[in-house]
Structure 1
Amino acid sequence: MAPQESKNWIELSIGDIADVIAGGTPQAGNPDNFQEPGTGIAWLTPADLSGYKEKYISLGARDLSQQGYDSSSAKLLPKGSIVFSSRAPIGYVAIAKNDISTNQGFKNFVFTHGVDSSFAYHYLRSIKDIAESLGTGTTFKEISGATAKTLPFVLPPLAEQKVIADKLDTLLAQVETTKARLERIPQILKTFRQSVLASAVSGKLTEEWRLENPSLEPISLDDIETYWSVKYLESGKKRPSLKFIETALLTEVPKSWINTNIGYVFDVYVGATPSRKNEDFWNGDIPWVSSSEVAFCRISSTKETVTKLGLAKTSTNIHPPGTVMLAMIGQGKTRGQVAILDIEACHNQNTAALRVPTDFVVSEYLYFYLTKQYEETRRVGGGNNQQALNKSVVQSLEFPLPPFEEQTEIVRRIEELFAFAERIEQKANAALEHVNHLTQAILAKAFRGELTADWRAANPELISGENSAEALLKKIQVEREAVSKKKAVRKRV
């Protein structure tokens, strides 16, 4: 039964007022069956509507040639027909801007007099879930021509159809505009974060802060060397000599900073993997970091652990919290990503561990610097056949080092600005989620008759008598009966 607000509408099946026309495909292996788009007979596949947001469609990725058209079961649909994908997936919909044909992945609707194309387009969008629920099949869901004829449809008076379609065009365009703006926010914030990092590690972010703190002296590399020498002596070892090729230090830094190489500041380790063949090496109490876990994050747990025996039988080491991990090798975008250890952990050979001289460097400053340098680090590591970094390359990376107090201030400001960006992104995502539900909510409201309740009250003469839905349906039935002995769609070019 129709809702009270629209009781002058008629509920029926789409097959009662439209011809349902399937499509076809000529032999795909014969290139003579196809032509460049716009040069032959317009032809669509469901792929042509994937991601397609326009209301009207005029052609697909390729046309049929006359030969291809004649040798297939494709039919030419008249301008204004509704193309509706019936499989892979179900429910893509558009209005034919011109005469057009489709493949067999469509069940298309050709209406006679009395149904506004825009109204039908919006209505079919509103019942996508219903159409999907009627699909059958194992490899992919599909609705048959017989099922397509049973899809629900509502028939308001023609004048009201046009009003509904116009209102929906306006409202849904506003929704799409809002959605597009919200979808741009993550990229805007990504650019903002990159700008913050660039400003931070160049000294611009704390330029005024330095003027307020003019007495800060540059950190001494000799002091850092002494720090590490003492650490090694405490463990009964001698610090290995550094063996790396210094890269050119091209970055200009403030006077109170020094520009140096990673290897002169941090103790760099490459990990190892205990033998997988020995079960006694695995599932112990020692966290073991793989490169896939080094993903611009803090690491508080690991997917795998090793035993003390596994640790003893390999060249990997346990590193303290605050150590910065750098992925040297990995699939996709892994190489160059960084993380901070919040736990003691060892690691595999695809990662470098940068132990931090905590008297001189804030771990988070190094983390943010390497985050900013991600693309550059990948470029440096992509200059060989292995597409990988190694220990000497990591040690040679350029590193601008501010005074310790300024590092602390830089980290504080970055975290504050990133938190601000995160709050904006969360609000934008919540708004986008709401907007994503708006289209179906507006469509549902329209087809309950709520969008045109005031219009009906103001225009009773346009929805009654000869303008009523009942009178319109009779006209449609008479017209369909008159052409019932003719083909609803003829093959023609």
Structure 2
Amino acid sequence: MKTTLGPKLRFPEFRGGGGWELKQLGDFLTESRLPGSKGDVAKKITVKLWGNGVFEKNEAIQGSVNTQYFQRKAGQFIYSKLDFLNQAFGIVPASLNHFESTVDLPCFDIAEGLNSGFLLEYVKRKDFYARVGEAADGSRKARRIHAETFLSFSMGLPIPAEQQKIADCLSSLDELIAAQARKVDVLKTHKKGLMQQLFPREGETQPRLRFPEFRDAGEWESGLLGAIFGTTSGGTPNRSEASYWDGDIPWITTSLVNFEVIAGAEEYISQAGLKNSSAKLLPKGTVLIAMYGQGKTRGQVALLGVEATTNQACAAVLPKEGINPYFVFSNLAGRYDEFRKLSNSGGQENLSQALIRDFPFSYPVDEMEQQRIADCLTSLDTLITAATQELETLKTHKKGLMQQLFPSAEAVEA
């Protein structure tokens, strides 16, 4: 007797049909082990995390002559044993036909009766890979899903026509998502290019582009940040003193310093915490610079949209009368690479108050020109925010649709 199940949502033409059959992946997938080159000469492929596709792998260091690679074919399903729980799945594209990977990136021929697009969308669901990933073996940091284990997993399978319909629907959504992502990237690239024109470049004191009404307004003023603005940093109240925490004063860490206007915090401190620590209440309009932090954090900039305190990893550039805070924020946000190079000079790994105070800064004396630049960039930020929100809406829509179009993991396991 066949085990049948079904999703919550089906296309009209399939609602009167039978239920989905419960099948093992091994019923349709066969691991491919066609010998290829050795690691020193192989044309290699890699699988991006979070379902972002299969790409050519470019290595700066030549591979080992002792490592055996296997030839892969267009249309095969591929995944990473080590990054199974990070959604490293894909279908080998035609452009990478006959490229190669090791057994750590196993490939599978797909038999008739299983649509490759349907399969990819099925396994990319967290409901699937997180649950079956519990079968992974190895250490906590190096857990692997081996091919034989993967092939033993069960899935719900409709008739080929319904598989195709689901795959086409989700593929269309992917195309919309990709197009919207490109729109966001174009807007961000346009803003970055505009900022390089509206603000002086590294080593220069005057911008390449000025709005027509200010072209005869004279040169910009230049100096060091510490000579133009007041600067400070924050502190962390004693964590063991409960009365210092969960108050109503926002306490900002570098995790929130991410080229945005900060309107709230993840943690709050009390008046007692403020009084009994080196934390300082900073005014709205203060520009924050991450002096150190994980990964790309160091050198990132944010603008306080509310009064707040910070930890000691944040440098604060205090607002100054006559200089628009958003102009300062935009100027410094566009100089991330300069901050990163500065922090790495002399073998240092962090920024410091001294380095930030000695950082060069130029600005137009005319506040109307500052405002004009700020308004221009704010308008672009508004467009970027709207486009990004639309992108997130599309992603959320797809996620919700997938939850309806596929049976739940609990139903498959039942």
Structure-2 separation of matches of 1:91 and 1:388: 33
Which residue does the alignment assign to 1:362? 324
Which amino acid letter does the alignment assign opposite residue 269 of structure 2? T
Structure-1 separation of matches of 2:287 and 2:190: 24
Structure-1 separation of matches of 2:325 and 2:88: 52
Q: Pick from 287, 294, 301: which aligns with 2:264? A: 301
Which residue does the alignment assign to 1:267? 230
Q: Normalization by structure 1: what TM-score?
A: 0.53
Structure-1 separation of matches of 2:115 and 2:77: 11
Summarize the alignment of residues 395-434 of structure 1 with structure 2, pairs less than 5 Å apart.
395-402=357-364, 403-427=366-390, 430=393
Distance 1:64 1:258, change over 3 A: closer
Q: Pick from 328, 343, 364: which aligns with 1:381? A: 343
Structure-2 separation of matches of 1:260 and 1:316: 28
Contact 1:270 1:352 in 2 (8 A): yes
Report the CA distance between 1:346 and its aligned residue.
3.5
Which amino acid letter does the alignment assign opposite residue 383 of structure 1? S
Higher relative contact order (CA 8 A, sep 6+): 1
Q: Normalization by structure 2: what TM-score?
A: 0.61
Summarize the alignment of residues 63-142 of structure 1 with structure 2, pairs less than 5 Å apart.
88=84, 121=116, 124=119, 132=128, 138-140=134-136
Structure-1 separation of matches of 2:237 and 2:22: 66
Q: Pick from 356, 360, 367: which aligns with 1:394? A: 356
Matched length: 362
Structure-2 separation of matches of 1:341 and 1:424: 23
Which residue does the alignment assign to 1:183? 181
Report the CA distance between 1:367 and its aligned residue.
0.8
Structure-1 separation of matches of 2:326 and 2:231: 17
Report the CA distance between 1:184 and its aligned residue.
2.9
Distance 1:62 1:151, change over 3 A: farther
Contact 2:283 2:307 in 1 (8 A): yes
Matched, 1:372 2:372: no
Which residue does the alignment assign to 1:322? 285
Report the CA distance between 1:379 and its aligned residue.
1.4
Structure 1 or 2, whichever has the larger Rg, is 1
Which residue does the alignment assign to 2:38? 36
Aligned Cα root-mean-square deviation (Å): 5.9
Q: Pick from 191, 199, 217: which aligns with 1:201? A: 199
Structure-2 separation of matches of 1:379 and 1:101: 36
1:230-277 deviations in whole A, cap 9, x for unaligned? xxxxxxxxxxxxxxxxxxxxxxxxx34212111221111233334445
Report the CA distance between 1:343 and its aligned residue.
3.3
Structure-2 separation of matches of 1:171 and 1:353: 49
Give the secondary structure class of the aligned counterpart of 1:383.
helix
Structure-1 separation of matches of 2:64 and 2:402: 31
Report the CA distance between 1:440 and its aligned residue.
12
Report the CA distance between 1:304 and its aligned residue.
2.8
Report the CA distance between 1:289 and its aligned residue.
3.2
Which amino acid letter does the alignment assign opposite residue 288 of structure 1? W
Give the secondary structure class of the aligned counterpart of 1:329.
coil
Which amino acid letter does the alignment assign opposite residue 376 of structure 1? E
Structure-1 separation of matches of 2:19 and 2:243: 71
Distance 1:435 1:104, change over 3 A: closer
Structure-1 separation of matches of 2:152 and 2:295: 47
1:107-144 deviations in whole A, cap 9, x for unaligned? 96786xxx5x8x85456557667x959x8684359978
Identity across the alignment (%): 22
Which residue does the alignment assign to 1:288? 251
Distance 1:431 1:205, change over 3 A: farther
Give the secondary structure class of the aligned counterpart of 2:355.
helix
Can you give the 5+ residue segments of structure 1 that lack an aligned partner in the other structure? 26-32, 55-60, 70-75, 157-163, 217-254, 444-493
Contact 2:279 2:310 in 1 (8 A): yes
